[in-house]
Amino acid sequence: MSRKLAVIIPMYNEEGNAEKCIREVCSVLNKKLPEVKLIVVNDGSKDKTEDILKSLDAEDLPFSFVSHPLNKGYGAGLITGAKEALSQGYEFGLFMDSDLTNDPEIIPEFASKIASGSYDLVKASRYISGGGMEGVPFKRRIITITGNFVASFLFGMGIKDCTNGFHAVRLELIVDIDFKERGFPFLLEELYYLKKKGVRATEIPYVLTSRGADEGVSSFSYTPELIWKYLKYALLASFA
């Protein structure tokens, strides 16, 4: 059986949501994509996340995990997951967030695009027909819409949702890159290098839902430093 796709989810201090996330993703995989596996990266969590992962790993689930002794950041978690998936023989990695704002039911749509053999990168998009945002604060909505409009123009890859972390990529294209970013700007740095490599990219519609109060507090915030890092890679891509 071909090991085409692995789902990769980084987690940091997700004891309140880890089990729910893993069970929901594995449920979709068992029902619709039995050849796909979930790999979780515990990024140095200081709560009970690792204990939960160990308990679930003992069950008969299409799931395994690896851990960082110390927190290394979002981007580092993705790369660790990518290298682990590649070492297990998987060709593509589908990166998701651990808070279930990325709907696991969309995973088969990624798998379908990958199976076509036409693409190296598949991005979920809030800005194409069928996509959108629900429950997202107005200020954050305006910032992200404006930022992605600018980034889409500068990258020139036909991708409208450049900052979305819900994406699948051919693993061999990223594991050999010496990434500098370890936080959320990793997504733009990754896209910059993928453009330089001439990837074939496409998007599928996706509706972002705001993280619920019972699922913890998001660590994401738009700071001037963060916005500059995003813009920096978009500007570099415009010359690539």
Q: Give 2's pLDDT tier (boundaries 50, 70, 90).
A: very low
pLDDT at site 221: 61
CATH number at residue 100: 3.90.550.10
**Residue pLDDT, tens place only, 95-113:** 999 999 999 999 999 999 9
**Residue pLDDT, tens place only, 3-18:** 799 999 999 999 999 9
**Residue pLDDT, tens place only, 121-151:** 999 999 999 999 998 888 889 988 999 999 9
C-alpha to C-alpha distance for 151 and 157, rounded to whole angstroms: 10
**Residue pLDDT, tens place only, 157-196:** 999 999 999 999 999 999 999 999 988 899 999 999 999 9
Q: Count helices and strands (H / E) in the chain.
A: 7, 9
- Among 227, 184, 173, 166, which Cα is nearest to 76's? 184
Is the pLDDT at 214 greater than 60, yes or no? no
Query: 63 and 56 in contact (C-beta within 8 Å)?
Result: yes
pLDDT at site 230: 85
Q: Tell me the average pLDDT across 221-225.
A: 72
Is the pLDDT at 207 greater than 50, yes or no? yes
Is the pLDDT at 223 greater than 60, yes or no? yes
Strands (E), 35-180: 37-43, 63-68, 92-95, 121-125, 132-134, 167-170
Domain holding 160, by residue range, is 5-238
- For the chain, the domain total comes to 1
Query: 39 and 27 in contact (C-beta within 8 Å)?
Result: no
pLDDT at site 216: 43
pLDDT at site 1: 36
Q: Tell me the average pLDDT across 67-96.
A: 96
Q: Specify the higher pLDDT residue, 2 or 177.
A: 177
Is the pLDDT at 222 greater than 70, yes or no? no
What pTM was estimated for this model as a whole? 0.92
**Mean pLDDT highest for which of 60-64, 135-139, 207-211?**
60-64
| Residue 6 bridge partners (DSSP) | 37, 93
Q: Tell me the average pLDDT across 78-88.
A: 97
Is the pLDDT at 43 greater than 80, yes or no? yes
**Residue pLDDT, tens place only, 187-197:** 999 999 999 99
